[in-house]
């Protein structure tokens, strides 16, 4: 038969009877609609079409202006350094560390530290780290002047270096933690133990065995998250503002600067730059794929070479071990700095600790803090609840049962540079008279929260034994009743977990909040970035600390859930 | 047939695209249009204002300013029956873009913002795009107290005549500061700044243009290094730009190599610059607010030995304003609030360095003796520049110099 008739008829009749059939189109509308409109709203101005600014003539001027910008070449170089550098280093650290630590006691420690480290938003991490490593920062203060002889902070290029090395390394450390968590998740889906045992029995060194046999299968599982990492590293804004160079900055912050200019030509140019970044990410992912092929080919040689141990796995392993140690130390150090500063009275160079401790800033910030925490939490709860509900309804309606094609669409907001469709989305909200409202912020955040919730929830959902639901249905329970009385109680933990992840993502979103909020809706993240560049470190410390605690609390609540479950089920 | 993406059929997709706009169209209802003509008496405006809600879009980056606006809200509520709401913003430019969007989608009334705090570029853009309502400033009953002669920037915002489309609120001036304990005698001219940087390599910095404070430093240097300042008060002429700015680039070519991080890296903005002074990485910082140093001392960010000063040849001074958007729903209320902000009581409170420390726009000889006493009673902080030096003011160049200097700087030093 030419076409798979069976498939189609099943899905159609199923939708006709399925009371949740309306959920996928609704999700589709909320999800793909704004992205498409957003991309269009960015694409048209890049060719000179911007009715809101009175521009109706098709022209290439924005592109010419962008491509002839004097800072473009340098800025592009910085972008590529950060994008490829940070992603490659994160991959090496991620795979190298798991390869050497897998199965050891140290790995258990790393695993336990992963979740809190991941709850640490990029913005807070950057603020804390900047103070840790700056020439006038904590490490320098600890050693000065007794060991270094510095009675003034040294004039050293450590952060904001013109080649963005500091930004690249910090991002690599931060992303490596995310990748390790992904690798750990993927390990649960393949039979790594058996493969390791047979490779070991043939005399392969443990790390080499892991890298040659297990890693390729893991890589296939974590490929999409790695692409998402690459895309976000190429378009990073929040960490770049704190740790990156300013003259020129990488492409994404430079585009933001242009977009904020009240000059029509400059804004059209910003649109061209945003579309350019979309193309850049596509090319970068293709290049990365090419790199994958090259690595795979060279690995093939290693597989058949018969060599069972050598220097290569030791190097990768050491880089991994050192990298993960740095990543954890940097995260801990950064959060320590935030806490120190939030309780500092005066703290001047070269004192290693504040000269006076004080709660004055906490007392003074209590109103602002309450307002920001409240707003961030309300948006986060609303967005994660809606995302979770939509995900459950879509899964009930059968989305993703046949092929994982939907996965690609879900990943769009994670793979496409945010800046390339947020411009357009801002115009959309403006047209709808919604910009600068909490509703617009929540709807925009949903685009970035829904993918994570879907990814976290869909596997446990589909892993649920279908016989349980069938039994309930055959006893006469409706689909809706089966969902609420049988499935959801059984899935309480994954559902809560997905909500917590959604909440953490929502709280940490910077650009979507900034664009949809039109400067009127401040959340902990926008405030942390606004304060990060140097206002009052004590205030920045408080905000960034709160920003860290909020998602952490959400994740901690979920981890407390099993006890609660057991107690009530008795 | 392939599987539709996301498990969605074509019919479902079109249904979805139909649902979306319907979901999103929960919109505000326009209020009845106010009738304020050029001859409406002030008393009638105050009557119309009673009971109105004025949404004031104002930068909210400083708790002191927020407190001041809070005090204003309480006072106008008690005296004029106006509900003043501080719409806190971090980005006035984004607001102008929003307003432009509202105008192009035909929202000519029922606006969500009734008053906005702005100046310079933002005013120039907003007025150029016809986004402001007016003229109203000269109709305010306190207008006669404004020092339009002594402080010409109250009616010429970055050289642009305000024409009554914005009402002055406060004065700002570029001021330099340093820690007198470590640097007793700071350089007091732009050329002296270079000499100081040469003998103290790595201890001078300026924010990277196009940052506002960074470009202001460029403008200050350009004015001081140029014999003929007239061209800077007209729009940039591309043909003569290179020749006119040559002294500035010659200066920076010498300054950057001896500046912080040898000019290879720059702080991104004013707060970072202040923090570098706090961390003793640099010896001199500057801000576009003479009381900034005092504020920083008071909040423990800079040592008590910090001193602020104005350069010998004067520094750039400008005025910040409030304006009323074209689609404001409470124009009368906004006028009454703007008028209150010009009152000697409100201006004296604003000038109090303990509360805000922003210089007044009023002509003190025009205010009543009782009110003069309010100003005379203000405390003087050691970290404030003295009053005489504050009188050494240079006018802001035309707004087009902002973008042009920022771009030229980027082309030279950010590639």
Query: Of B391 and A1, which is predicted with more confidence?
Result: B391
Residues A406 and A518 in one domain: yes
Interchain pair A349, B280: CB under 8 A? yes
> Across residues A204-222, what is the average pLDDT?
88
Q: Which residues in chain B touch residue A54, judged by CB atoms under 8 angstroms apart?
A: 104
| Of A472-476, B138-142, B190-194, B320-324, minimum mean pLDDT range | A472-476
- What H or E segment, with its residue span, contains residue B227? none
Mutate to test the interface with A, among B4, B8, B103 (most CBs of A within 10 A): B8
State the nearest Cα–Cα gap between A344 and chain B, in angstroms. Answer: 10
Does one domain contain both A336 and A390?
Answer: no
**pLDDT over threshold 70, residue B52:** yes
Structure tokens at A56: 């109706």
A433:B268 CB<8 A: no
Question: Across the interface, which of A51, A408, A519 has its CB nearest the CB of B89?
Answer: A519
Closest CA–CA distance from residue B292 to any residue of chain A (Å): 12
Does residue A38 fall inside a structural domain? no
Q: Which of residues A354, A389, A411 is at a domain's end?
A: A354
Of A74, A403, A431, nearest to B101 by CB-CB distance is A431
Q: Do A318 and A443 fall into the same domain?
A: no
* Nearest CB to A263 within list B12, B98, B403: B403
Specify the residue for token string 């050029």: B38
Identify whether residues A349 and A458 lie together within a single domain. Answer: no
| Cα-trace Rg, chain B | 24
Q: How many domains does chain A have?
A: 2
Chain B partners within 8 Å of A33 (Cβ) = 16-17, 20
Q: B257 versus B354: which is more confidently predicted?
A: B257
Residue A5 has pLDDT above 70, yes or no: no
SS3 B37: coil
> Is A185 part of any domain?
yes
B contact test, residue of A10, A26, A66, A246 with most B CBs within 10 A: A246
Structure tokens at A326: 């740095």
Closest A-chain CA to B274: A534
- Chain A: residue whose CA lies nearest to B111: A433
Same domain, A100 and A232: yes
CB contact under 8 A, B7 and A398: yes
- Better-scored residue on pLDDT, A189 or A182: A182
Q: Which of B61, B89, B279 sits opposite A349 (nearest CB)?
A: B279
A19 within some domain: no
Distance CA B40, CA A554 (A): 57
Whether the CB-CB separation of A230 and A280 falls below 8 Å is answered with no
Weakest-pLDDT range from A34-48, B94-108, B131-145: B94-108
| Cα A21-A22-A27 angle, rounded to 5 deg | 115
List the domains of chain B with CATH numbers: 42-146+162-169+320-367 (3.40.190.10), 175-317+394-413 (3.40.190.10)
Residue A302, pLDDT score: 78
Q: What is the pLDDT of residue A2?
A: 43
pLDDT at B7: 44
Highest mean pLDDT among A120-124, B183-187, B296-300: B183-187
* Cβ-based contacts of B124 with chain A (< 8 Å): 262
Contact A430 B411 (CB under 8 A): no
- pLDDT given at position B63: 75
Cα nearest neighbour of B283 on chain A: A152
Task: State which of A119-128, B3-12, B341-350, B369-378 shows the largest mean pLDDT.
Answer: B341-350
For A350, the closest chain B residue by CA position comes to B279
Residue A91 pLDDT > 80: yes
Size of interface A-B (CB pairs under 8 A): 221
Looking at per-residue pLDDT, the higher value among A377 and B389 belongs to A377
Q: Average pLDDT over chain B, rounded to whole?
A: 88
In angstroms, the Cα distances linking B180 to A131, A551, B173, B202, B301 are 26, 45, 21, 19, 15
Q: Are strands B115-118 and B315-325 parallel, antiparallel or unpaired?
A: antiparallel
For the ranges A81-90, A534-543, B326-335, the lowest mean pLDDT is seen at A534-543
Instruction: Work out the minimum CA distance from A427 to partner chain B, whole angstroms.
Output: 7
Q: Answer yes or no: is A497 within a domain.
A: yes
Question: Are residues A317 and A415 part of one domain?
Answer: no
Whether pLDDT at A200 is above 90: no
Domain edge (last residue) among A290, A325, A354:
A354
- Partner-chain contact A534 B267, CB within 8 Å: yes
* Residue B98 binned pLDDT confidence (cut-offs 50, 70, 90): confident
Which chain A residues have a beta carbon less than 8 Å from that of B26? 434, 439
Alpha carbons A208 and A29: distance in angstroms, whole number? 48
A329 confidence band (pLDDT: 50, 70, 90): very high
Q: Binning pLDDT at 50, 70 and 90, where does residue A149 land?
A: confident
Above 60 in pLDDT, residue B269? yes
Chain B positions touching A257 (Cβ under 8 A) are 210
**Option in B1, B208, B276 nearest A246 (CB):** B208
CB contact under 8 Å between A433 and B102, yes or no, is yes
- Which of A302, A330, A354 is the endpoint of a domain? A354
Residues of chain B positioned with their CB less than 8 A from the CB of A430:
97-98, 101-102, 105
**What sign does the CA torsion over A472, A477, A479, A485 have?**
negative
Give the chain A residue whose CA is nearest to the CA of B121. A262
User: For A459-494, how does the pLDDT look when each residue is reduced to its tens digit (9 = 90+)?
Assistant: 788 888 888 888 888 888 888 888 888 888 888 888
**A492 and A456 share a domain?**
yes
Query: What is the reported pLDDT for A533?
Result: 61
Compare all CA atoms of chain A with the CA of B204 and give the residue at the minimum distance: A155
Contact between chains at A70 and B414 (C-beta distance less than 8 A):
yes
Most A CBs within 10 Å, among B236, B268, B278, to test the A interface: B268
Smallest Cα distance from A563 to chain B, Å: 36
Tell me the three state secondary structure of residue A338: helix
Using one digit for the tens of pLDDT, what is the confidence trace for A224-242? 889 999 999 999 998 998 8
Q: How far is B160 from chain A (nearest CA, A)?
A: 16
pLDDT reading at B200 higher than 80? yes
Q: What is the mean pLDDT of residues A61-74?
A: 94
Percent of chain A with pLDDT over 90: 35
Are A24 and B8 within 8 A, CB to CB? Answer: yes
- Using CA coordinates, name the residue in chain A closest to B22: A432
Residue of higher predicted confidence among B184 and A493: B184
> A327 pLDDT exceeds 60?
yes
CATH number of the domain to which A227 belongs: 1.10.3720.10
Tokens standing for B415?
């590639």
User: Using the 8-state DSSP alphabet, how is residue B3 labeled?
Assistant: P
Classify residue A9: in a domain, yes or no: no
Mean pLDDT of chain A: 85
Contact B19 A26 (CB under 8 A): yes
Q: Are residues A76 and A196 in the same domain?
A: yes
Burial letters A213-232, b for 16+ CB under 10 A, else e: bbbeebbebbebbbbbbbbb
| From B93, B107, B280, residue closest to A153, measured CB to CB | B280
ipTM > 0.90 (yes/no): no
Q: Domain for residue A130, yes or no?
A: yes
A535: chain B residues, CB-CB within 8 Å: 61, 271
B252 vs A536, more confident: B252
Mean pLDDT, residues B65-92 taken together: 91
- Pairwise pLDDT comparison (A380 vs A32), residue with the higher score: A380
Reported as a pLDDT band with limits 50, 70 and 90, residue A400 is low
- Judged against a pLDDT cut of 80, whether residue A55 lies above it is answered with no
- Do A104 and A162 belong together in one domain? yes
B61: nearest CB among A25, A400, A530: A530
- The Cα–Cα gap between A8 and A402 comes to 11
pLDDT of B172 higher than 70: yes
Q: Please state which of the ranges A427-431, B293-297, B400-404 shows the lowest mean pLDDT.
A: A427-431
Residue A52 has pLDDT above 70, yes or no: no
The answer as to whether A35 is a domain residue is no
* pLDDT for A540: 85
Same domain? For A299 and A431 the reply is: no
Helix (H) or strand (E) holding A134: none
Q: Phi, psi (5° rounding) for residue B82?
A: -105, 135
How many Å lie between the alpha carbon of B17 and the closest alpha carbon of chain A?
A: 5
Q: Please judge whether A71 and B414 are an interchain contact, meaning their C-beta atoms are less than 8 angstroms apart.
A: yes
Looking at the predicted structure, is the pLDDT value of residue B19 above 60?
no
Residues A158 and A265 in one domain: yes
Q: What is the rounded average pLDDT of the residues A144-164?
A: 88
Chain A residues close to B202, C-beta within 8 Å: 155
pLDDT, position A187? 85
Residue B60 confidence (pLDDT) above 80: no
User: Is pLDDT larger for residue B7 or for residue B137?
Assistant: B137
Which domain does A475 fall in, by range? Answer: 366-570
More confident residue, B399 or A1: B399
- Phi, psi of A6, deg, nearest 5: -55, -50
Residues from chain B that touch A15, judged by Cβ atoms under 8 A, are 9, 12
Instruction: Considering only the beta carbons, identify the residue of B100, B266, B299 that sits closest to A536.
Output: B299
Whether residue A459 is found in the same domain as residue A495: yes
Mean pLDDT of A549-560: 85
Mean pLDDT of B395-409: 93
Subunit contact A522:B261, Cβ cutoff 8 A = no
CA distance A443 to chain B (A): 10
A249-258, A350-359, A437-446, B176-185, range with the lowest pLDDT: A350-359
Contact B105 A430 (CB under 8 A): yes
Higher pLDDT, B272 or A19: B272
Model confidence at A3, pLDDT cuts 50, 70, 90, reads very low
**Is A50 a member of any domain?**
no
Ranges A274-288, A303-317, B77-91: which has the least confidence? A303-317
Lowest-pLDDT choice from A140-144, A189-193, B408-412: A189-193
Asked if B88 and A522 come within 8 Å (Cβ–Cβ), the reply is yes
What are the CA-CA distances from residue A515 to residues A128, A244, A410, B69 (Å)? 25, 21, 21, 25
- The owner of tokens 């010429």 is B156
Give the pLDDT confidence score for residue B1 in this predicted structure: 36
Query: What does the pLDDT look like over A330-363, one tens digit per residue?
Result: 999 999 999 999 998 878 888 889 888 888 888 8
How many CB atoms are closer than 10 A to CB A128?
A: 31
Chain B residues whose CB is inside 8 A of the A155 CB are 201-203, 260-262, 281
Looking at A185-189, A408-412, A451-455, B183-187, which range is the least confident one? A408-412
Range among A496-505, B59-68, B102-111 rated most confident:
A496-505
Interchain pair B264, A157: CB under 8 A? yes
Question: Distance, in angstroms, between B273 CA and closest chain A CA?
Answer: 8
> Cβ contact (<8 Å) for B100 and A266?
no
Rounded Cα–Cα distance for residues A132 and A125 (Å): 10
Contact call for B280 and A136, based on CB within 8 A: yes
């Amino acid at each position: 038969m030419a076409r798979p008739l069976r498939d189609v008829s099943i899905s159609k009749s199923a939708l006709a009877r399925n009371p949740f059939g309306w959920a996928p189109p609704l999700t589709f509308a909320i999800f793909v609609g704004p992205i498409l409109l957003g991309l269009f709203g960015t694409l048209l101005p890049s060719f000179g079409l911007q009715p809101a600014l009175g521009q109706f003539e098709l022209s290439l001027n924005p592109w010419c202006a962008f491509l002839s910008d004097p800072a473009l070449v340098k800025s592009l170089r910085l972008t590529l350094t950060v994008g490829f550098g940070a992603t490659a280093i994160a991959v090496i650290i991620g795979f190298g560390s798991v390869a050497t630590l897998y199965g050891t006691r140290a790995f258990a420690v790393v695993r336990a530290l992963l979740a809190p480290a991941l709850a640490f938003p990029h913005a807070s991490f950057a603020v804390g780290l900047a103070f840790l490593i700056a020439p006038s920062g904590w490490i320098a203060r600890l050693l000065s002047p007794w060991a270094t002889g510095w009675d003034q902070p040294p004039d050293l290029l450590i952060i904001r270096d013109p080649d963005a090395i500091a930004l690249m390394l910090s991002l690599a450390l931060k992303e490596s933690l995310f990748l390790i968590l992904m690798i750990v998740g993927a390990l649960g889906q393949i039979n790594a133990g058996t493969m390791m045992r047979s490779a070991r029995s043939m005399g392969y060194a443990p790390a080499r065995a892991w890298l040659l046999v297990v890693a390729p299968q893991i890589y296939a599982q974590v490929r999409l998250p790695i692409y998402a990492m690459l895309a976000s590293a190429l378009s990073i804004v929040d960490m770049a503002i704190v740790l990156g160079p300013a003259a020129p900055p990488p492409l994404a912050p430079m585009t933001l600067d242009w977009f904020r200019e009240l000059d029509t030509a400059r804004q059209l140019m910003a649109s061209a730059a945003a579309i350019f970044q979309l193309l850049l990410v596509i090319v970068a992912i293709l290049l990365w794929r090419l790199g994958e092929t090259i690595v795979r080919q060279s690995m093939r040689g290693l597989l058949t070479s018969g060599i069972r141990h050598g220097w290569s796995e030791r190097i990768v392993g050491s880089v991994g071990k050192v990298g993960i140690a740095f990543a954890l130390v940097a995260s801990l150090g950064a959060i320590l700095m935030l806490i120190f500063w939030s309780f500092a009275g005066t703290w001047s160079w070269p004192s290693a600790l504040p000269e006076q401790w004080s709660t004055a800033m906490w007392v003074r910030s209590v109103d602002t803090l309450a307002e920001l925490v409240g707003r961030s939490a309300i948006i986060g709860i609303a967005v994660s609840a809606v995302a979770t509900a939509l995900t459950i309804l879509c899964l009930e309606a059968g989305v993703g049962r046949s092929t994982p094609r939907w996965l690609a669409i879900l990943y769009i907001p994670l793979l496409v540079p945010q800046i390339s469709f947020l411009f357009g989305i801002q115009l959309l909200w403006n047209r709808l008279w919604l910009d600068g409202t909490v509703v617009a912020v929540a709807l925009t955040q949903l685009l970035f929260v829904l993918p994570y919730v879907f990814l976290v929830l869909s596997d446990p959902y589909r892993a649920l034994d279908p016989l349980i639901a069938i039994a309930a249905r055959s006893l006469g329970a409706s689909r809706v009743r089966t969902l609420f009385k049988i499935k959801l109680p059984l899935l309480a933990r994954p559902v809560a977990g997905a909500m917590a992840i959604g909440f953490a993502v929502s709280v940490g979103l910077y650009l979507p909040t900034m664009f949809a909020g039109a400067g009127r809706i401040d959340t902990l993240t926008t405030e942390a970035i606004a304060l990060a560049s140097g206002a009052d470190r004590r205030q920045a410390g408080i905000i960034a600390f709160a920003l860290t605690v909020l998602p952490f609390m959400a994740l901690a609540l979920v981890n407390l859930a099993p006890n609660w479950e057991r107690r009530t089920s008795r | 047939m392939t599987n539709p993406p996301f498990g969605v059929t074509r019919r479902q997709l079109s249904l979805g695209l139909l649902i979306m706009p319907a979901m999103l169209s929960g919109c505000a209802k326009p209020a009845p249009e106010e009738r304020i003509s050029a001859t409406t008496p002030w008393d009638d405006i105050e009557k119309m204002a009673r009971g109105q809600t004025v949404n004031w879009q104002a930068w909210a980056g400083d708790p002191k300013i927020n407190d001041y606006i809070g005090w204003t809200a309480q006072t106008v509520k008690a005296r004029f029956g106006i509900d003043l709401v501080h719409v806190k913003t971090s980005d006035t430019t984004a607001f102008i873009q929003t307003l432009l969007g509202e105008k192009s989608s035909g929202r000519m009334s029922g606006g969500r913002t009734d008053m906005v705090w702005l100046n310079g570029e933002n005013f120039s853009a907003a007025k150029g795009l016809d986004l402001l309502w007016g003229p109203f400033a000269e109709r305010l009953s306190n207008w006669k107290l404004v020092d339009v002669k002594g402080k010409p920037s109250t009616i010429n915002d970055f050289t642009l005549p305000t024409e009554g489309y914005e009402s002055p609120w406060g004065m700002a001036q570029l001021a330099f500061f340093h820690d007198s304990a470590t640097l007793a005698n700071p350089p007091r001219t732009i050329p002296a700044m270079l000499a100081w940087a040469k003998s103290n390599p790595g201890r001078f910095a300026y924010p990277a243009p196009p940052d506002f404070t960074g470009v202001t430093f460029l403008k200050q240097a350009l004015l001081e290094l140029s014999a003929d300042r007239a061209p800077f008060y007209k729009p940039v002429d591309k043909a003569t730009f290179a020749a006119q700015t040559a002294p500035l680039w010659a200066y920076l070519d010498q300054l950057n190599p001896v500046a912080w991080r040898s000019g290879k890296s720059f702080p991104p903005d004013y707060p970072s610059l202040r923090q570098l002074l706090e961390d003793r990485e640099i010896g001199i910082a500057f801000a576009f607010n003479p009381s900034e140093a005092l504020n920083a001392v008071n909040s423990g960010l800079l040592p008590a030995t910090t001193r602020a000063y104005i350069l010998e040849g004067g520094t750039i001074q400008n005025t910040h304003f409030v304006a009323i958007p074209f689609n404001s729903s409470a124009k009368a209320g906004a006028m009454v609030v703007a008028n209150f902000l010009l009152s000697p009581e409100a201006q004296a409170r604003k000038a109090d360095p303990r509360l805000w420390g922003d210089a007044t726009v009023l002509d003190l000889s025009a205010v009543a003796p009782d009110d003069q006493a309010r100003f005379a009673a203000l405390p003087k902080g050691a970290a404030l520049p003295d009053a005489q030096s504050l009188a050494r003011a240079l006018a802001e160049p035309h707004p087009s110099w902002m973008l042009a200097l920022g771009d030229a700087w980027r082309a030279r030093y950010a590639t």
